[in-house]
């Protein structure tokens, strides 16, 4: 008589034996020690949005290089250790082409196709603002290394920055010009179509006049203009003590060349975008002062080690975009390790509660919002070199 197996009515004895063996092997696997689990490799995907084409491509390239250096150092050390697991940092980079629609599309691709847990960038406020609005709706954290416009983070829980905001640097430069340079009159030339340029220009005028100075010319242009003769003629005729140019590098270089050609030798002032002026172009703006978040003259071990490693890898001196992005990646790593989790909500919580962080651009402290408490540096360009002049704390 053929025996009946009531629990496995359609399986022969050798099949049952196979199932039992598989069950035993499964138990053994589950019983393996946690030390074995920690040797597994996992990936943490970080999205990076930078301007890699057009006139501001050099700043975007510096962002990518700063991020790559930070990721490489962590990966060479074995990756991020989180909850007894090792994570390899993977950068997914997108070019926003300095275009709002392209920037938002890049964010969508990174989130929905590349499955990133967090986005770094964009660097330009005019692109960071719309991307910030989008990531806030889908609850994916974003941290911009150098976007300074208040609107980027305003009213948002998932959006952070690693730099100061425009009102602070505009205030610092206005007070410095009036009180320390002794300027009684000032002129401003700015891009009215760009949130970054316009925001700083407005604050500078407000504070400079509140301190007792007079803004004798407040001239504007629109993104993409190459000739500024009409605006500069007005400024020249008003004969200001200082000329404030809170504009991007390619615009500043054109504006200064045209101003010099018109015989203007006024003292030049700038904002943090000037930190990306190439070394071979600095002679053009000799004697100028500008606000920044980073100086290679900062004497702390983090800064000097970063400069050495960056120069060794890329063969050039790092500017503020590279330094700020390097800090941004390391801030993210600290936030993940503090939380011992790598999901988007945990990263957001880790950033909001990060507290005080000492990086290559100085001390950064978050107190529950996306805007850190941090200092502004005033730099002075002499003999083609950028020199640290002073630090202004909030």
Which spans in 184-265 are helix H? 195-210, 229-238, 249-261
* 144-161 pLDDT tens trace: 999 999 999 999 999 999
Buried b (16+ CB within 10 A) or exposed e, 235-259: bbeeebbbbbbbbbbbbbbbbbebb
pLDDT band of 26, cuts 50, 70, 90: very low
pLDDT the model gives residue 41: 58
20-24, 95-99, 106-110: which range is least confident on average?
20-24
pLDDT the model gives residue 362: 87
pLDDT the model gives residue 40: 53
* 70-103 pLDDT tens trace: 999 999 999 999 999 999 999 999 999 999 999 9
Q: CB count, 10 Å around CB of 92?
A: 17
15-29, 205-219, 254-268: which range is least confident on average?
15-29
116-125, 255-264, 290-299, 323-332: which range is least confident on average?
290-299
pLDDT the model gives residue 161: 97
pLDDT the model gives residue 376: 92
For residues 379 and 293, what is the distance between their CA atoms, to the nearest angstrom?
Answer: 10
Is the model's pLDDT at 62 over the cut of 80?
A: yes
pLDDT band of 162, cuts 50, 70, 90: very high
pLDDT the model gives residue 234: 98
For residues 114 and 133, what is the distance between their CA atoms, to the nearest angstrom?
Answer: 20
β strands within the chain, DSSP E: 41-50, 80-82, 85-95, 118-120, 142-144, 159-161, 185-191, 214-221, 242-245, 267-270, 289-292, 356-359, 362-365, 376-382, 385-392
- Mean pLDDT, rounded, of the chain: 89
What average pLDDT does this structure show over 352-369? 89
- The DSSP 8-state label assigned to residue 38 in this structure reads T
- Strand, coil or helix: what is 360? coil
Residues 6+ apart with CB under 8 A from 328: 66, 67, 120, 143, 144, 145, 162
Q: Comparing C-alpha atoms, which of 147, 82, 157, 97 is closest to residue 120?
A: 147
pLDDT the model gives residue 384: 87
What average pLDDT does this structure show over 318-340? 96
For residues 323 and 327, what is the distance between their CA atoms, to the nearest angstrom?
Answer: 6
């Amino acid at each position: 008589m053929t025996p009946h197996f009531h629990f496995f009515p359609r399986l022969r004895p050798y099949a049952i034996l196979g199932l039992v063996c598989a069950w035993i092997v499964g138990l053994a696997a589950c019983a393996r020690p946690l030390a074995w689990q920690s040797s597994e490799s996992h990936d943490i995907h970080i999205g990076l949005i930078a301007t890699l084409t057009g006139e501001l491509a050099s700043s975007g390239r510096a962002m990518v290089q700063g991020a790559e250096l930070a990721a490489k150092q962590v990966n060479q050390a074995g990756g991020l250790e989180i909850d007894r697991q090792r994570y390899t940092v993977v950068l997914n980079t997108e070019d926003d082409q300095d275009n709002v629609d392209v920037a938002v599309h890049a964010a969508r691709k990174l989130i929905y196709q590349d499955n990133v847990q967090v986005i770094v960038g964009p660097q330009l406020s005019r692109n960071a603002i719309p991307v910030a609005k989008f990531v806030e709706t889908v609850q994916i954290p974003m941290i911009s290394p150098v976007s300074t416009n208040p609107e980027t983070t305003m009213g948002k829980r998932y959006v952070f920055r690693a730099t100061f905001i425009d009102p602070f640097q505009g205030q610092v430069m206005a007070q410095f010009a009036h009180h320390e340079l002794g300027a009684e009159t000032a002129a401003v030339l700015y891009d009215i179509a760009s949130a970054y340029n316009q925001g700083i220009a407005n604050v500078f005028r407000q504070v400079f006049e509140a301190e007792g100075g007079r803004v004798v010319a407040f001239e504007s242009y629109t993104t993409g203009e190459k000739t500024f003769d009409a605006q500069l003629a007005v400024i020249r005729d008003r004969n200001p003590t200082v000329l404030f140019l809170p504009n991007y590098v390619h615009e500043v270089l054109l504006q200064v060349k045209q101003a010099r050609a018109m015989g203007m030798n006024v003292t030049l002032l700038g904002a943090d975008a000037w930190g990306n002026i190439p070394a071979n172009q600095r002679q053009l703006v000799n004697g100028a002062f500008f606000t920044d978040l980073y100086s290679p003259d900062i004497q702390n071990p983090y800064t000097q080690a970063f400069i050495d490693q960056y120069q060794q890898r890329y063969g050039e001196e790092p500017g503020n975009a590279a330094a700020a992005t390097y800090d941004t990646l390391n801030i993210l790593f600290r936030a993940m390790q503090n939380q011992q989790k790598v999901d988007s909500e945990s990263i957001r919580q880790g950033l909001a509660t990060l507290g005080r962080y000492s990086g290559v651009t100085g001390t950064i402290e978050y107190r529950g919002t996306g805007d850190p408490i941090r200092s502004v540096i005033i730099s002075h360009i002499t003999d083609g070199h950028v020199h640290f002049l002073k630090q202004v704390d909030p």
